Amino acid sequence: MTNRIDRLTKKGLVERLPDPSDRRGVLVRLTDEGQDRADQALAGLLDQERAILAELSRAQRGELAGLLRQLTAPFDNIPG
């Protein structure tokens, strides 16, 4: 994980900050550029999702949504 954060820091996408509640800890925060890049990536993924779902009928999209809720429901009870 440290290596990944190092690479992102070198690219100017994240910054490390001292943890105010634990002097041993470090917080990682997106920079403005990092936020912009994350937003762009998410927009691209949403466009792809829309294209995939456009091939399904309304009923099929509803069925898929129900199945995905069933699959992800156990994760709702995981602490943290």
Q: How many CB atoms lie within 10 A of CB 8?
A: 18
What does the pLDDT read at residue 80?
Answer: 65
What does the pLDDT read at residue 30?
Answer: 97
What does the pLDDT read at residue 70?
Answer: 95
Answer whether 30's CB lies under 8 Å from 38's CB.
yes
Break the chain into its structural domains and give their ranges. 2-74
CATH code for residues 2-74: 1.10.10.10
| Gap between the Cα atoms of 70 and 58, Å rounded | 19
Averaged pLDDT in 10-residue chunks for the chain of 80 residues: 95 96 94 96 94 96 96 85
- Residue 66's φ and ψ, nearest 5 degrees, are -65, -45
What does the pLDDT read at residue 23?
Answer: 87
What does the pLDDT read at residue 79?
Answer: 77
What does the pLDDT read at residue 14?
Answer: 98
What does the pLDDT read at residue 57?
Answer: 96
Answer whether 64's CB lies under 8 Å from 52's CB.
no
